[in-house]
Amino acid sequence: MHNISFFSISLCCCFIFLIIPHENFSKITAISVDIINQTCKKCADESHVFSYNLCTTSLQAVPVSHVANLQGLALIAMELALNNATKTLLIIKNLLTSNESLDPFAVVCLKDCLQLYSDGITTLVDAVEAFLGEHYDRANLWLSAVMEASNTCEQGFKEKEGEGLLSPLTNENYNLFQLCDIALCISHLLTSGSTFLMRSSAT
């Protein structure tokens, strides 16, 4: 079921990109790399937890992002987040089924994370829908909820009495948090009334 929604989201995103005008293609391409860097820079300036490097490398790795506007970049970030979360769900399932030497506390944490990630995927789909409908406030709520879920998953392991446990999902939780933060920041930029980078056709 999640796969189906993910697929339809992908189609949806493709459609968005298709309707981006084609005139001045090379100029738009050149300017868009700039949009990625400048957007990531602006977001990093506003938040000390925001990773400029993850932002630029993630967005630049998606070829279609080079023809995207700000809305497109946010959708790409959310699609990457969905992709990430879907893969992480598999990682968690594998850890739970294939590792018999797991600490019982870790099993409880992993089961919590499993629930958090499967809810998180549904929430991300809701965020994309809200975003497409330009309900940015609602999109922000959903995105923040997913970021909180990644934190909750990560913190769970530390709560074991004594020294806590090392989380096996630190990178996954970090990536999901950061990818959602990209979309959240762009959503703020779009609603702050700032005209920052809104006119990508400027020379």
Ligand X SMILES: *[C@@H]1O[C@H](CO)[C@@H](O)[C@H](O)[C@H]1NC(C)=O
Residues that bind ligand X (CB under 6 A): 33-34, 37, 54, 56, 58, 80, 83-84, 87, 99, 101-103, 106, 175, 179
Q: Within its chain, how far is the Cα of 28 from the centroid?
A: 24
For residue 137, the minimal CB distance to ligand X (Å) is: 26
Q: What is the DSSP string of 116-160?
A: HHHHHHHHHHHHHHHHHTT-HHHHHHHHHHHHHHHHHHHHHHHTS
Residue in the block written with tokens 């957007």: 39
Cα(110)–Cα(166) distance, integer angstroms = 12
Closest to ligand X by CB, 34 vs 134, is 34
Q: How far is the CB of 83 from ligand X (least distance, A)?
A: 5
Which residue in the shown chain puts its C-beta closest to ligand X? 58
User: Residue 19 or 27: which CB sits closer to ligand X?
Assistant: 27
Q: How far is the CB of 35 from ligand X (least distance, A)?
A: 9
Please answer whether residues 82 and 146 qualify as being in contact, where contact means their C-beta atoms are separated by less than 8 angstroms.
no
The minimum distance between CB 187 and ligand X, in angstroms, equals: 18
- 114 or 138: CB nearest ligand X: 114
